[in-house]
Homo-oligomer: A and B are copies of this chain.
Amino acid sequence: MLPRQLLRTATAGESGRHGIHPGHFLRVCFRSTCTLSMLVNVLWPVVPAAIALHFARPDLHVWIFSLNYIAMVPAANLLGFAGSELAKKLPRVLGILLETTLTSLVEIVLFMLLLHNDQDGSLIPVIQAAILGSILANLLLCLGLCLFCGGLRRNEQTFHEAVSEVGCGLLLVAGFGLLIPSAFSAALRNNNSDDSESISADVLAADTLTISRSTAVILLIAFLMYLFFNLHSHHSIFDDVLRFDETQDEDGERELQRAKLTMPECLLAIIIALAAVCMCAIFLVEEIDSIVALGVSDNFIGLILVPLVEKAAEHLTAIDEAWDNQINFALFHCLGPSIQTALLNAPLAVIVGWAIDKKMDLDFDLFMIVLLVLSILVVGNFLRDGKSNYLEGGQCVLVYVIIAVTTWYYP
């Protein structure tokens, strides 16, 4: 959302080399941005194995699912790393747009694949669950781990008030807009059981679909306003905040001396990562039916499994930043993607579904809506005072565990 490149001088992104040097390229990509990301790169051998298995033994459904699930993590990690390297070399506005796109890319690819593979409407609930699950994982798990890990190393973490105010206020209003169609549908379905003269289920579904599509269009307008605000009007506030963080980075020296990629290397890395992400995602989505047949509920896949893998790379980066006392960066990497999921990815899924004539609506399950609103309120309450400690983070993570356990039983 708010890329580091803003804060660097023009030369900071320079590698001092030209063209593609295979040895350098591999070394820089492997080291990635931080220690946790580097550890993730150990998983790269799984990527070819997962792809190969899909073609060699298409009958091993669970194995294909598991391997591709794991393979998504290093591929998404490389995509994020190469994207941020490229963004540093571009003009400011282009750089922000690139990072914004890349942040949402894996999620959008997954939503599109789920939409495309959906035959009889059975994958629509998975997409809906994945929208909410992505926000839940960002807020409770990732942000909770950031506060917890960051809090373990120091008595109290303080962060800039603007981060939490802007982040949580916007997230709450985005969540509010997102759930209006569900409130409409739930209220009418409830009334239905009372009086017989009420509208039929078909009319209700059609109305909900129309409302969802209108809502999606309005949410996209809200996202454009948000993007315009970030690009043009108020970057100065954020810049101050993040520049301050930069100076706090306990890994700071290492970061400046870190070897960089050249422009062609960036593009090469993005192409490789994108190809790997797409293939793994395709094979993963194809196996969902077999996993559901095994007894794992589609809600669990949507609310817990999909968000965990699609965001894993970002989560690890955020936790590493929190550990290095760059708590404002870490919070941005939790709150920003959540806002983008609500204002960009979810509406896009609805609108693409509209275009290809799928009945993708925003009629979320009541249970998940309640979890979403409460999560936003809880996190907002914790962030509001601009301080955090490991207790606050730990409680968020424990609540996420309760949610995961409960969803396991949700049919």
Interface residues of A (CB under 8 A from B): 155, 161, 165, 168-170, 172-174, 176-177, 180-181, 183-184, 186-190, 193-194, 198-199, 201, 207, 210-211, 214-215, 218-219, 221-222, 225-226, 229, 233-234, 365-367, 370-371, 373-375, 377-378, 380-382, 384-385, 387, 389-392, 394-396, 398-399, 401-403, 405-406, 409-411
Q: Let me know if A374 and B373 touch, CB within 8 A.
A: yes
Taking the nearest CB of chain B, how far is it from the CB of A8, in angstroms?
Answer: 25
* Nearest neighbor of A175 in chain B, beta-carbon distance: B374
Q: By DSSP majority rule, is chain A's interface helix, strand, loop, or mixed? A: helix
CA distance A233 to B210 in the complex (A): 52
Return chain B residues, CB-CB under 8 Å to A188.
367, 410-411
A169-B382, A411-B188 known; A405+B215 contact, CB < 8 A: yes
Q: Let me know if B370 and A406 touch, CB within 8 A.
A: no
A194-B189, A405-B214 known; A173+B233 contact, CB < 8 A: no
A381-B168, A391-B170 known; A411+B199 contact, CB < 8 A: yes
Return chain B residues, CB-CB under 8 Å to A198.
411
Q: Let me know if A225 and B394 touch, CB within 8 A.
A: yes
* Nearest neighbor of A203 in chain B, beta-carbon distance: B411
CA distance A333 to B172 in the complex (A): 24
Q: Let me know if A399 and B177 touch, CB within 8 A.
A: yes
Q: Let me know if A409 and B210 touch, CB within 8 A.
A: yes
* Nearest neighbor of A366 in chain B, beta-carbon distance: B187
8 A-B residue pairs with Cβ-Cβ distance under 8 Å, sorted by A, are: A172-B374, A183-B366, A184-B406, A218-B401, A218-B402, A218-B405, A226-B395, A234-B391
Return chain B residues, CB-CB under 8 Å to A378.
169, 172-173, 176
Taking the nearest CB of chain B, how far is it from the CB of A368, in angstroms?
Answer: 8
A165-B384, A384-B384, A411-B199 known; A406+B226 contact, CB < 8 A: no
CA distance A381 to B155 in the complex (A): 26
* Nearest neighbor of A234 in chain B, beta-carbon distance: B389
Return chain B residues, CB-CB under 8 Å to A401.
218
Taking the nearest CB of chain B, how far is it from the CB of A211, in angstroms?
Answer: 5
Q: Let me know if A391 and B226 touch, CB within 8 A.
A: yes
Return chain B residues, CB-CB under 8 Å to A233.
155, 389-391
Q: Let me know if A187 and B365 touch, CB within 8 A.
A: yes
Return chain B residues, CB-CB under 8 Å to A161.
385
* Nearest neighbor of A189 in chain B, beta-carbon distance: B194
